[in-house]
Amino acid sequence: MNIPSDWNDLVVTAVVPAYNEETTVKAVIERLQEVPLRIEIVAVNDGSSDDTGKVLDALREDGRIQHVIHQPKNRGKGAAVRAGIDVATGHVIVIQDADLEYDPSELPTLLDPIRMGKADAVYGTRFHGGPRRVLYFWHSIGNQLLTFLSNMLTDLNLTDMETCYKLVRADLLKALPLVSNRFGIEVELTARLARANARIWELPISYAGRTYAEGKKIDWRDGVAALWHLIRFNILSRHKIRWP
């Protein structure tokens, strides 16, 4: 699938995985609609126990969401992202968390390297000078460690492997044999893109991280699991990726 150079022809699919985000998901959808791009919104209710599913259904009924997928039970971010990728029809796919930590107004800037034919994927890095809320020291150290180990295994020089904002050409993303269910999707995506010899760019983004009291879900157990996923997808996995 060729990437149109004209903004008017380019369609971006925003995959929005949501688990118990009834208080924020509507605002995220509204912010996506304000972006000056043609955006297809695919929301995935990942077995929420609150009213997230009802909020998403209402937004679909009034035309603000193109697709809503309801997972019968909570399977994790990776499973939700994979479900969204399956139905996406845009030229470029971006993962948009439903928690207001990432600002959709930055998507046009992140999209530029792909639109101009310079990149196949763009990572929005939280560690290159963009404004950010100051939060947890050990989260930062953990992120730096995982990024460092990922870079060693992929021979990339990323600064923020764990960022949510990964924009990828749809034809490339759909060609990746993704299998992760939880937050290991970030490690797997990076490993698969490296294996596909994708051209990856990084651009700085802002970041308004949440506290656990505000609903943050990732914890130390996901960090430990990420270490296993680094081995699993960079050393043990030998999937051949045929692209383009």
pLDDT per residue of the chain (244 residues) written in tens, 0 to 9 = 788 877 789 999 999 999 999 999 999 999 999 999 999 999 999 999 999 999 999 999 999 999 999 999 999 999 999 999 999 999 999 999 998 889 999 999 999 999 999 999 999 998 866 555 544 555 677 778 889 999 999 999 999 999 999 999 999 999 999 999 987 899 999 999 999 999 999 999 998 764 434 445 565 576 677 788 888 999 888 677 777 7
Q: Among 174, 171, 164, which residue's Cα sits nearest to residue 216?
A: 164
**What pLDDT, on the 0 to 100 scale, is given for residue 24?**
94
DSSP characters over the chain: -PPPSSTTT-EEEEEEEESS-TTTHHHHHHHHHHSSSEEEEEEEEES-SSSHHHHHHHHHHTTS-SEEEEESS---HHHHHHHHHHH--SSEEEE--SSSSS-GGGHHHHHHHHHTTS-SEEEEESSSS--B----HHHHHHHHHHHHHHHHHHT---S-TT-S-EEEEHHHHHHS-----STTHHHHHHHHHHHTT--EEEEE--B-PPPTTTT----HHHHHHHHHHHHIIIII--------
Domains for the chain: give ranges and CATH numbers. 11-236 (3.90.550.10)
**What pLDDT, on the 0 to 100 scale, is given for residue 144?**
86
Residue 141 burial by CB count (10 A; 0-12/13-18/19+): exposed, middle or buried? Answer: exposed
Structure token pair of residue 222: 């996901």
**What pLDDT, on the 0 to 100 scale, is given for residue 213?**
45
**What pLDDT, on the 0 to 100 scale, is given for residue 217?**
52
**What pLDDT, on the 0 to 100 scale, is given for residue 65?**
97
Angstrom CA distances, 189 to 57, 138, 184, 194, stand at 29, 23, 9, 9
